[in-house]
Amino acid sequence: MEFVASHLLTLILFLPALTAIVILFLPRARVGLIRGVAFAASLVPLGLSIWLWLAYDAAHSGYQFVEQADWYRAVGSSYHLGVDGLSVPMVLLTTLLTPLALLISWSIAENVRSYMALFLMLETGMLGVFLTIDLLLFFVFWEIGLIPMYFLINQWGSANREYASFKFLIYTMAGSLGLLLAIQLIGVASRTFDLQEISVLWSGLREPLTLLGLPITLSVGTVKAIAFWAFVIAFAIKVPIWPFHTWLPDAHTEAPTAGSMILAGVLLKLGAYGFLRLVLPLYPVEAKTYAGALGLLAVLAIIFGAFAAWGQEDFKRLVAYSSVNHMGFVVLGIAAAAYARGTLAAPDAVIALNGAVLQMFNHGLSAAGMFLLVGVIYDRTHTRDLRSFGGLFPLAPVYGGILIFTSMASLGLPGLNGFVSEFLVVRGVWPIFTVYTALAMIGLLVTGAYIMRGVGMVLHGPLNPKWADHSLEINRREIAAIGPLMALMLWIGVWPAWILGVINKTVLHLFG
Amino acid sequence: MRPEILSWLIPLPPILSFFLIVLFAHRSNRLSHTIAVGAMLISWALAMSVFILALSVERLGEHPLASSIAWLPTAGTALHIGVLIDPLGAVTLFFVAWTCLAIFVYSVGYHNFGSPRDNEDVPGLPPRAGGIEPMYARFFAFISLFAFGMLTLVVSDNLLTLFIGWEIMGLCSYLLIGFWYAKESARKAMVKAFMTTRVGDVFMLLGLAYLYSVTGTLSYRAIFSGPVLERLAASPSVVAGLSIAGLIGLLLFLGTVGKSAQWPLHVWLPDAMEGPTPVSAMIHAATMVSAGVYLILRFFPLITAGWYEGQALTPTMWVIAAIGAFTALFAATIAVTQNDIKRVLAYSTISQLGYMVAAVGIGAFVAAAFHLITHAFFKALLFLGSGSVIHGVEHGAHATHEHIDANDMRNMGGLRRKMPITFWAFVAGGLALSGFPLVTAGFWSKDEILGHAYETGQVWVFGALVLAALLTALYTGRQITLTFLGGPRSSAAEHARESVPTMTIPLVILAVFAVGAGWLGIADDFPVLGGVLPNWFHAFVGGTLLEEPAATHFNAVPVLASVLAALGGLFLGWLVYRRVRAEQADPLVGPLGPVYTLLQRKYYFDELYSFAFVRPAYWFAETFTSRWLDRVVIDGILHGIGRFALRVGSFLRNVIDLPIINGSGDMVGEGVKRGGRGLRWIQTGRVQFYLVVGLLFAGLVLSYTLAIRP
């Protein structure tokens, strides 16, 4: 117990990877065993992160549960883990969504062993990004998260998977290159990769930089500018910010259900997390200069994301575009905070950031839930075409109720989670970017339109006779997978203080 | 128990009922309605206890029942939410509890509880022949949620929880208007209702954000304190010409425009008739639309900040008054030409809400609140009455196998003998609606609005409202005459029968309120009657505001105008429609000509909105954003980059790699090979050959040394 308590983060981080290795040695034909082991093992990190959540002390600012060990001393990089109020909710979200995604993956029939192993590797990759406070490790985990997802889409996706997975890989790789460059520059300039040390050193850095003894010297300003833009582009692609978003509808639509859940639920958050963890703290000046442009792109994402979702005929594509719309609010909050830092509007910035972080968590719940539900109906009908549904409510009343509930959470109905975060973002951004906030309302209006369209075309209307003797109702396993998400949606909607209190303390400490 | 705690509890039973029905009781009809009605009964009892407790508080406006808790941690502080029962809240709670309860009980009979399930009925369509509704349990779950939304809104002490209740009602109206979703019209109506009200809601959300930003709180008592209001009224807003208070007031008012179906967002309410009739009553009287007016009443201090009685209206008040007065008249003209019994009532709701909105706009706080309450009672009564009528006619149509539209008043007539209880209740409601002098509640509340408009010199508001009052009486007279008087115009009407007691008892109770509620607010200086009963309503509700508003003085002009409009309109309605026969065109078609068509097509607003907003927006979504912008432009650029990279790659391979690098590499290999091949002939392996070569070579060397170089 003593060991577990002192190595909590390491255990959460590496148990999934360990399980992945174990699974590779299980007999290929024992599909049931493989599923069972993968699912059961993914519950352990969940249990540990609930423990982490309960043991985390919100009143204490700074990183907690810190672990540090030598790793790569020559370049000043160490194995350094820690969590604060930004990462704790993300860790909880990741470890929660993984078992649920595995539970929904029972419908995967081919190559189950590799599928499960890849999925668990993916979990380690994502967790690493949230847990590490060393930039080199950050990059390593960032890439570890990318590759399994490529294979999940490429091997287990639907018809157009080759194109989608390739697009996803190239797009993200393009971002990663800049990320690597920026991290190297920072590392060379400050002679360490440790984020805590960098945040202290970075702002005091004055010496021009000589690269590898070459006769080129870069002024600190240039280094910072290059690193800033490299970060911004990498994270902007991941979030995704309009117009870097077109990989998303393809990747989400072609990925297997569980893949889409994780993709929308967690992977997109990596980008937003990068903004919060690296861009805002390390580049306050640059971020402030370009905050207006970032805010504009966020508003465009909100508006165009909503309109594009409304224009889809494919149910899954509709949900995919809704992510662009919802993540736009996260970025809008971040942009406003970047702009208002150090001014009179700083309390507004804190509110906006609270909203942005909570929106990351909330979107993780509702997007994962929506993809799950799309997957459920796809499993039974083998189509995602909205026009071929219609009138399914009496055939699947429980499914219908759950779909309406989840859609409403996604729409931001007050009383459910999405409202709280969107309201906080709107409230925080209004005094800072008044016009942007007003424009974002167009997106909010159209959000209603696409949700109504999705729900209406699936559940309402005269019954398409094709489905009359199909059994479409959601089964117990699937209900078990979405149940926890629904409970959280309601809980956060009714009593947001339990999670917002944690976020608020850290945001106040970092940006207040 | 302390009354604040009781207020917290009021909204809880319906939400519990919702979850209980959805999770456990959806298979049992009896259990589901027992839970729903029982929960509503508990809420009603709690609401009545709180109401009575509130009455006993001395100067309730200054010392309301209130309590709050921290809900949302934000930066250094927290957002508090809580409950507040002040005079306005108390009277609203009173009518909401009564009308909701009546509607819940009525629904049991309306959905044919007790009849067996007809096997030909399908979920999503109304029962064909008097069988029990296939989705009976679901209906009770939804209206429970609806009641929860409204009760939350009423007991809230802050704008945030008000908004939560507000939006939950938006969802419920969506679900219930589209309850019979297999009907195309219902499907369209549900989306229309949700989206149209959402237009108002997003503006309201901005107002919320704005208000919260400038005051740091959303709770009424903190906002409506003198210094805060003065500051808001004095500082200019982001929009030129408006103070912050004025702009926030307008943004919030836009929420009301959506929810209370004021022009130009009125289009959803008539279509909301597609839902079952108890839902119409719920939306039109007890909950949704009343919530909109409740909002502007609640924010009356903010809307009127910087304005004092007797002064010119602020721009915000002016807009509110203009929209209200215009809507009151505009909707009344449409109502005159509608043939669907519920549609007439729908337009009449829009029109009556216009009265209340106009009253708020001209600063008549108490009059608006008074009309809100009387209207809730008589409109709930009229809707439930019309539902009873439709039920009766449907029964007749089923008995005679006649295929008619049971909602169409042209197929009715003579129902007063078949359905006496419904008839008398409906007449009570109709007279209240048209403001029949002295006995009905509608007269007293409408008269107070007219009196206030006249007294403050708002001539155009007064004129529009009087004209609307005349039209109101006219269409009410027409409706009662066409429905109940004369002889039956179809065999279905001839074989109609009175509804079951679960439907008629709520009618009777509401009729009592529709008549009696007005007597609590008779002006003290009204001739003869004034002072017999104290003007309790004004004294009580006026106490909500910091400065108690002065009561309107009696003036003969508005009273006479109102009496004449009511009596004249009713008489005219009866006179014109008393002899209408089956298949006969409406008597007004001739005299009105094309105007009649214009009115009957509702001024073509639906067509206009579809053409000007809905279709362009969808084009923008489907064609522009998702097809052009994303697939052609952005993906085009990407694919262009991809192709460019491919081309660079193939250039490198075909022009540099293959000829130069591969080429030179190959050249070395090939050259050596070729050289080797060329020299192969000398490597034959035969000793004789080698000796010959050696001999020749030796000969050559010898010749050279001996002969050429001596």
> What ipTM goes with this model?
0.87
Q: Is B625 on the interface with A (CB under 8 A)?
A: yes
Question: CB atoms < 10 A from the CB of B61, how many?
Answer: 17
A70 has a pLDDT exceeding 60: yes
Please state the rounded mean pLDDT for residues A152-159.
88
The chain B residue lying nearest A350, using CA atoms, is: B75
Q: Do B621 and A497 touch (CB under 8 A)?
A: no
| Chain centre to alpha carbon of residue A412 | 18
Residue A358, pLDDT score: 93
Separation between Cα atoms, residue A117 and residue A100, nearest integer Å: 15
Residue of A nearest to B164 (CA): A414
Query: Does residue A206 surpass a pLDDT of 70?
Result: no
Average pLDDT over residues A92-117: 90
Reply yes or no: is the peptide bond before residue B488 cis, omega within 30 of 0: no
Task: Encode pLDDT of B336-352 as tens digits.
Answer: 888 888 889 999 999 99
For B275-324, what is each residue's pLDDT tens digit?
Answer: 888 888 888 777 888 899 999 999 998 888 878 777 778 888 889 999 99
Question: A-contacting residues of B 22-81, CB under 8 Å?
Answer: 22, 26, 70-76, 78
Task: Dig out the tokens for B189 from the structure.
Answer: 């109506």
Task: With CB atoms and an 8 Å threshold, state whether A496 touches B202.
Answer: no
pLDDT recorded at residue A463: 79
Kindly report the backbone phi and psi dihedral angles of residue B526, in degrees, each rounded to the nearest multiple of 5, phi listed first. -70, 135
CA distance A53 to A289: 36
Question: Across the interface, do B75 and A438 touch by the CB < 8 Å criterion?
Answer: no
Instruction: Read off the pLDDT band of A211 (50, 70, 90).
Output: low
**Percent of chain B whose predicted confidence (pLDDT) is above 70:** 99
| DSSP, residue by residue, B120-148 | T--TTS--SSSPPPTTHHHHHHHHHHHHH
CB burial of residue B9 (10 Å; 0-12, 13-18, 19+): middle
Taking an 8 Å cut-off on Cβ atoms, the answer to whether B75 and A393 are in contact is no
Instruction: Return the pLDDT at B328.
Output: 92
pLDDT at B657 > cutoff 80: no
Give the confidence band of B693 by pLDDT, cuts at 50, 70, 90: confident
Q: What is the mean pLDDT of residues B533-551?
A: 77
The answer to whether B539 contacts chain A (CB < 8 Å) is no
d(CA B476, CA B336): 8
Q: Which of A419, A461, A501 sits opposite B73 (nearest CB)?
A: A501
Task: Report whether pLDDT(A215) > 60.
Answer: no
Give the pLDDT score at B609.
Answer: 83
Buried b (16+ CB within 10 A) or exposed e, B275-311: bbbbbbbbbbbbbbbbbbbbbbbbbbbbbbbbbeeee
- pLDDT value at residue A207: 64
**From residue B608, how far is each of B605, B611, B622 by CA, in Å?**
5, 5, 21
Size of interface A-B (CB pairs under 8 A): 154
Question: B125 and chain A: CB distance < 8 Å anywhere?
Answer: no
A437 touches chain B (CB under 8 A): yes
With an 8 Å Cβ cutoff, is A175 touching chain B? no
Cross-strand bridge partners of residue A79: A69
Residue A208 has pLDDT above 70, yes or no: no
Q: CB distance from B617 to chain A under 8 Å?
A: yes
Facing B75 at nearest CB: one of A351, A413, A441: A351
Which among A74, A75, A71, A92 has a CA at the least distance from the CA of A83? A92
Look-up of token digits 């409408």: B446
Contact A482, A407 (CB under 8 A): no
Q: Which residues contact B88 (CB under 8 A, 6 or more apart)?
A: B294, B297, B298, B369, B541, B544
Question: What is the rounded average pLDDT of the residues A340-356?
Answer: 84
How much is the pLDDT for B435?
A: 85
- Model pTM score: 0.89
* Percentage with pLDDT > 90 across chain A: 39
And the tokens for B271?
Answer: 């279509």
**Mean confidence (pLDDT) of chain B:** 85
pLDDT of residue A209: 62
Q: Which of A68-72, B169-173, B589-593, B669-673 has the lowest mean pLDDT?
A: B589-593
Contacts by residues B30-35 (CB-CB < 8 Å, ≥ 24 positions apart): B30/B113, B32/B136, B32/B137, B32/B140, B32/B141, B33/B107, B33/B108, B33/B113, B33/B136, B33/B137, B33/B140, B35/B140
Distance from CA of B110 to the nearest CA of A (A): 22
Cβ(B511)–Cβ(B424) below 8 Å: yes
Provide the pLDDT for residue A214.
Answer: 60
Asked if A363 contacts A419 with a C-beta cutoff of 8 angstroms, the reply is no
For residue A299, pLDDT beyond 80: yes
Mean pLDDT confidence for B215-237: 84
Best mutation site among A307, A417, A509 for testing chain B: the one with the most B CBs within 10 Å?
A: A307
Residue of B nearest to A434 (CA): B238
Q: Which residues of B454-466 are buried (b: 16+ CB within 10 A; e: fewer)?
A: bbbebeebbebbb
Q: Which of A394, A441, A496 lies nearest to residue B202, judging by beta carbons? A: A441
Q: Contact B168/A415, CB-based, under 8 Å?
A: yes
**What mean pLDDT is predicted for residues B186-199?**
89
Cα of A269 to nearest chain B Cα, Å: 22
Residue A205 has pLDDT above 70, yes or no: no
Residue B1: the pLDDT is 60
pLDDT at B365 over 80: yes
Inform me whether the C-beta atom of residue A426 falls under 8 Å from chain B C-beta atoms: yes
Model confidence over B403-458: pLDDT tens digits?
A: 888 788 888 878 888 888 888 989 999 989 988 887 888 888 888 888 888 888 88
Which chain B residue has the Cα nearest residue A166? Answer: B642
- Write the DSSP assignment of A440-475 as a string of letters: HHHHHHHHHHHHHHHHHHHHSSSPPGGGTTS-----
Are the Cβ atoms of B124 and A444 closer than 8 angstroms?
no
> Do the Cβ atoms of B568 and B319 come closer than 8 Å?
no
pLDDT of residue A216: 66
3-state secondary structure of B447: helix
Do the chains contact at B76 and A347, CB–CB below 8 Å? yes
Give per-residue pLDDT as tens, B11-63: 999 999 998 888 887 788 888 888 899 999 999 999 999 888 888 887 777 77
CB contacts of B166 in chain A (<8 Å) are 414
A472 compared with A96, residue with greater pLDDT: A96
Judge contact between B448 and B371, C-beta under 8 A: yes
Which of A394, A423, A452 lies at the smallest CB-CB distance from B195?
A: A452
Please confirm whether the linkage preceding A240 is cis (ω < 30° from 0): yes
Q: Which of A273, A279, A178, A260 minimizes the C-alpha distance to A226? A: A178
**Number of neighbours of residue A295 by Cβ within 10 angstroms:** 25
Q: Do B171 and A413 touch (CB under 8 A)?
A: yes
* Higher-pLDDT residue of A360, B236: A360
Report, as an integer, the average pLDDT of A463-480. Answer: 85
B124 CB within 8 Å of a chain A CB:
yes
Binned at pLDDT 50, 70 and 90, residue A47 comes out as: very high
The answer to whether the Cβ–Cβ distance between A504 and B74 falls below 8 Å is yes
Q: How many other C-beta atoms can be found within 10 angstroms of the C-beta atom of residue A87? A: 26
Q: Which of A88, A261, A233 is nearest to A174 (CA)?
A: A233
Range scoring the smallest mean pLDDT among B107-111, B350-354, B372-376, B521-525: B521-525
- pLDDT over 60 (residue A213): no
Please answer yes or no on whether A311 and B634 come within 8 Å at the CB atom: no
Calculate mean pLDDT across residues A293-302: 92
